[in-house]
Every structure is written in structure tokens, then in C-alpha cells.
Copies of this chain bind each other. A is one copy, B any other.
Amino acid sequence: MSERRSTRPRRAGGARRAQILDRVVEVLSERGYVATRFADVAQASGVAVSTLQGYFGSREDMLVEALQRATSKEVEALAELAAGFEDPWQRLAALVDRGLSTPVKTWRLLMEFWTAAAHDDELRAHAGELAEQYRRPFVEAVRRGVDSGSFSPRFDVAALVDVLVATMDGLLYPLVLDHRASAGPDYRDVVLAQLAFALGSDT
């Protein structure tokens, strides 16, 4: 199924490489994983196709690297955001807000990533790690709330967080398919209230 990964030595590239990867992410978001060709990236980034191959080896390698880079950045931003809130509930609310206000372009990319991962072992492994990292700030916040006594969860914390993240992810589709600008305001209240309920939050 998945095209063979190249074992050819990949050139360093440095800053140029990062710039190009950002363009790959944009093309990926617009055209989708399978429809993104070297030629598209070459046009979008202004470098020759063979130069791209010099940098990344194969088409698959280029796309995977772009996907990993983009998703990792998102996860890191989330962790950073969490650190800015002391109160467990405020931290959770900030994380949910952040998730629900994710730009459509990023949602599209994630959707492509997941669908591609369903057909590629290496990508799937990376998806698992990312999911774990993504859940961590949520779990962390819940644990702090439990420790401080402000949360008395009615359910297993892991399951509870899984459901929360799933809800946010699931709101992706109407967004991507309906061209709405954001999933934010409409569902925020419902999601947060259900979360507060599940946590037995005193807030």
C-alpha cells in the first residue's frame, strides 16, 4: 500500500528545510495526503522537484516529516498553554477552548494525518505517541484538581479524558465539511458542563 520509504541519505538543509516543511503542511491541508505531489510542493515552495528529493528522499518521507513537525508543534503549544494556568478547572477550560478554536486548516491536516496513519505503520505509531502527548496536559490538570480536592471524578480519569478529547476531535468533521469558521462558541458550554459533571467539580 504505502510507497517505499527511501533509504537515501537526506541532506541537512537547515533553515531552508524548515521553510519548505511549512509549505508542505499548507499544500497537505489543501490537497490532502495522497494528492500532494512533489510538483505541488515544488511550485508552492519555489524549489525544484529534485531539490525536494535531495532534502527528504522520497515523497512519503517528505509528507511524514511535515506531518510530524506540524502535529508536534501543536502538541507543544498545548503543553505551554497549560502551564499558564494554576487553577485546575481554569486550566482545563483553557485547553478545551484552545482545542475548539483550532483553525480549520489544522483540523484538515490532522484529518489527513489520521487517515494516512490508518494505512501506514510508522505513521500510526507516531499518531499514538502524539495522542498520548496530547492527552497528557488534560490528565495532568485533572490529577491536580483531584489532589487539591476540587475534583471528585465520577469515572476513571483516563476514560474521562479520552471521552473529552474524542468529543473535541469529533467536532472536527462538521467543521471541516461545512466550512464553518470554528467549532468554538456553539458547543463550549455543553462540553464544559458535561466535563464539570463528570469530574464532580465544585466549580
Contact = CB atoms under 8 A, between A and B. Distances in A.
A115 B117 contact: no
A189 B187 CA distance: 21
A174 B131 contact: yes
How many identical chains are in the complex?
4
Interface string A69-88: 00000000000000000000
A168 B162 CA distance: 11
Contacts of A162: 171, 174, 186-187
B163 A167 contact: yes
A18 interface: no
Assign chain A's interface to a size class. 35 or more
Given A32-B115, A159-B190, A193-B198, A127 B1 contact: no
Interface string A42-80: 000000000000000000000000000000000000000
Interface in A107-134: 108, 111-112, 114-115, 117-119, 124, 127-128, 131
A5 interface: no
Contacts of A154: 193
A34 B33 CA distance: 10
A146 interface: no
A114 B34 CA distance: 14
A198 B192 CA distance: 11
Contact of A168 (B127, B170, B186, B193): B170
Contact of A163 (B1, B31, B169, B191): B191
Interface of A: 1, 31-32, 34-35, 108, 111-112, 114-115, 117-119, 124, 127-128, 131, 154-155, 159-160, 162-163, 165-174, 176-178, 186-187, 189-191, 193-194, 197-198
Given A166-B168, A194-B197, 15 more contacts: A31-B119, A32-B34, A32-B118, A35-B119, A108-B118, A111-B114, A111-B118, A114-B176, A131-B173, A155-B189, A160-B190, A162-B187, A163-B194, A165-B170, A167-B170
